[in-house]
């Protein structure tokens, strides 16, 4: 019992020492930053100069008298600066060009010091105003050039550039209600004119811009990628070949996942052979642009009439859309047929399921924990093999009505009604 008390006492002392050490270290860092800041240096110089002027005026004016002639009569005038408080007050009022006139020097030397104090005050105002103006201008220039770090959280990050970037963002905004300009960070190496043209659209006037290569972790950190809600990596069209763009997409996903594995990442590639590398990098969703267009052309040519159907489903301006929706919790481990009937009552057509949705890193980690719970070695090996072959957003097309719905699944739906002409 005594041993346990001693252990707790030592542990509490160690914890207290760590807290004190952290407080001391933080205090040292704050003090160091303060002493090396420009504002502190300006105020230190101001204080020193005003101290010299106020001390000099105090010793010169204290007890000083001067005889002046008014209307033919001699009059003795005494200085009204007779204490150190008076001299400090006079120095501050004079240097700030306020000039109340309640305290003033009457000696020649005192007036010379007064003139120097006035010039110092005017120079001080100019220095402070200039520094404030330059700071504001520098801040605005950094923001315009995309060099300013982004502080927002739970935002969307888009890496890369498309020639029709405005159309891409507009289409996303029409499909996603919470996609607002002030919640979007664009990371690319586009020219300032291209960004200005994009921001000329009132919808994206508040979009955040980070200039730099999106494979660089320092650039991604400026976009606050760690706290992003979702990241879209585009096949960059800024003078890059298809193969080079795909290679950079893979490197960008690797950099993002190195910063935070919990960020949901969608990536676009041109060549399908890079899909494997994206999966290994931990990419949650892969967009195969060229494959989609080729398959659509082939299907339309082989089966007449599909062009209108596909066009209406993917056109953001039509009332009918292809979408995903969360599956209510009480349908987990229930037959697929019950879910079909549930969405049919809501005038939605269920066409498929997506399994292992959400952040794939979290899904795989949870699956691994579940796989290790069994004491049977052979079953454990089988479970680990299943975990290894897991695919994010795995599509289950038109399953049997008795197919059991798994956890972390989503429904793929057709919703809306076509206008009858």
Phi-psi region of 46 (alpha: psi -120 to 50; beta: other; left: phi over 0): alpha
Got the DSSP string for 356-414?
S-S-HHHHHHHHHHHHTT-S-HHHHHHHHHHHHT--TTEEEES--TTPBPPTT-EEEEE
Region 269-274 average pLDDT: 87
pLDDT for position 2? 47
pLDDT reading at 392 higher than 80: no
What's the CA gap between 366 and 390, in Å, rounded? 12
Q: Which two tokens mark 204?
A: 């994206």
Q: Which of 92, 143, 79, 83 is nearest to 121 (CA)?
A: 92
> Which helix (H) or strand (E) segment is 158 a member of?
strand 156-159
CB 255 within 8 A of CB 223: no
pLDDT tens digits, 236-267:
766 566 578 888 899 999 999 999 888 899 99
pLDDT reading at 211 higher than 80: yes
HSE-up of residue 188 (Cα within 13 Å, Cβ side): 28
Q: Which residues of 279-289 are buried (b: 16+ CB within 10 A; e: fewer)?
A: eebbbbbbbbe
Q: Could you give the C-alpha distances from 2 to 5, 8, 13, 125, 363, in angstroms and in order?
A: 5, 10, 16, 68, 46
CATH superfamily of 156-291: NAD(P)-binding Rossmann-like Domain (3.40.50.720)
Bridge partners, residue 288, by sequence: 269
pLDDT for position 203? 76
pTM of this structure: 0.62
Average confidence score pLDDT of the chain: 77
Give the pLDDT band (50/70/90) at residue 421.
Answer: very low
Terminal-residue alpha carbon distance, the chain = 86
The boundaries of every CATH 3.40.50.720 domain in the chain are 156-291
Region 316-342 average pLDDT: 83
What's the CA gap between 179 and 168, in Å, rounded? 12
Domain 318-415: assigned CATH number: 3.30.70
The boundaries of every CATH 1.10.287.70 domain in the chain are 38-145
The boundaries of every CATH 3.30.70 domain in the chain are 318-415
- CATH class, range 38-145: mainly alpha
Give the pLDDT band (50/70/90) at residue 415.
Answer: confident
What's the CA gap between 401 and 341, in Å, rounded? 10
Q: Which of 93, 3, 11, 16 is nearest to 50 (CA)?
A: 93
Q: Give the rounded percent of residues in the chain with a pLDDT score beyond 70.
A: 76
pLDDT tens digits, 351-389:
888 888 877 677 777 777 776 777 777 776 766 776 677
* DSSP 8-class letter at 283: -
Q: Which two tokens mark 238?
A: 């800024």
Q: Which two tokens mark 324?
A: 């995903």
* DSSP 8-class letter at 335: B
Q: Give the rounded percent of residues in the chain with a pLDDT score beyond 90.
A: 5
């Amino acid at each position: 019992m005594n041993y346990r008390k001693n252990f707790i006492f030592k542990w509490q002392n160690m914890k207290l020492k760590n807290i004190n050490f952290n407080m001391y270290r933080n205090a040292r860092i704050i003090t160091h930053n303060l002493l090396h800041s420009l504002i502190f240096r300006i105020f230190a110089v101001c204080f020193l100069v005003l101290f010299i002027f106020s001390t000099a005026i105090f010793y010169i004016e204290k007890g000083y008298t001067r005889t002046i002639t008014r209307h033919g009569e001699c009059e003795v005038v005494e200085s009204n600066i007779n204490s150190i408080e008076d001299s400090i007050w006079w120095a501050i009022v004079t240097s700030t060009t306020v000039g109340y006139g309640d305290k003033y020097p009457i000696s020649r030397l005192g007036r010379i010091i007064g003139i120097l104090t006035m010039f110092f005050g005017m120079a001080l105002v100019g220095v402070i105003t200039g520094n404030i103006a330059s700071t504001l201008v520098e801040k605005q220039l950094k923001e315009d050039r995309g060099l300013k770090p982004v502080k927002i959280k739970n935002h969307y990050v888009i890496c890369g550039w498309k020639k029709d970037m405005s159309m891409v963002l507009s289409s996303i905004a029409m499909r996603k209600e919470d996609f607002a300009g002030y919640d979007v960070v664009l990371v690319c190496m586009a020219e300032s004119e291209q960004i200005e043209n994009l921001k000329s659209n009132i919808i994206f006037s508040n979009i955040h811009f980070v200039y730099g290569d999106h494979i660089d972790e320092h650039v991604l950190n400026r976009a606050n990628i760690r706290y992003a809600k979702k990241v879209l990596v585009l096949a960059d069209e800024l003078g890059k070949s298809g193969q080079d763009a795909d290679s950079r997409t893979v490197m960008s996903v690797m950099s993002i996942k190195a910063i935070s594995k919990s960020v949901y990442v969608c990536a676009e590639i041109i060549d399908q052979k890079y899909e494997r590398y994206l999966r290994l990098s931990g990419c949650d969703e892969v967009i195969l642009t060229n494959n989609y267009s080729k398959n659509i052309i082939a299907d339309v040519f082989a089966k007449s009439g599909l062009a209108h159907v596909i066009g209406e489903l993917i056109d953001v301006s039509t009332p009918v859309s292809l979408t995903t929706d969360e599956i209510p919790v009480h349908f987990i481990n229930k037959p697929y047929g019950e879910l079909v009937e549930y969405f049919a009552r809501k005038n939605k057509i269920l066409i498929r399921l997506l399994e292992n949705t959400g952040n794939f890193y979290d899904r795989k980690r949870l699956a691994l924990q579940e796989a290790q719970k069994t004491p049977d070695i052979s079953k454990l090996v089988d479970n680990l093999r299943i975990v290894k072959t897991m695919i994010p957003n795995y599509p289950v097309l038109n399953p049997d009505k008795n197919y059991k719905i798994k956890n972390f699944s989503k429904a793929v739906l057709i919703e809306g009604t076509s206008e009858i002409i």
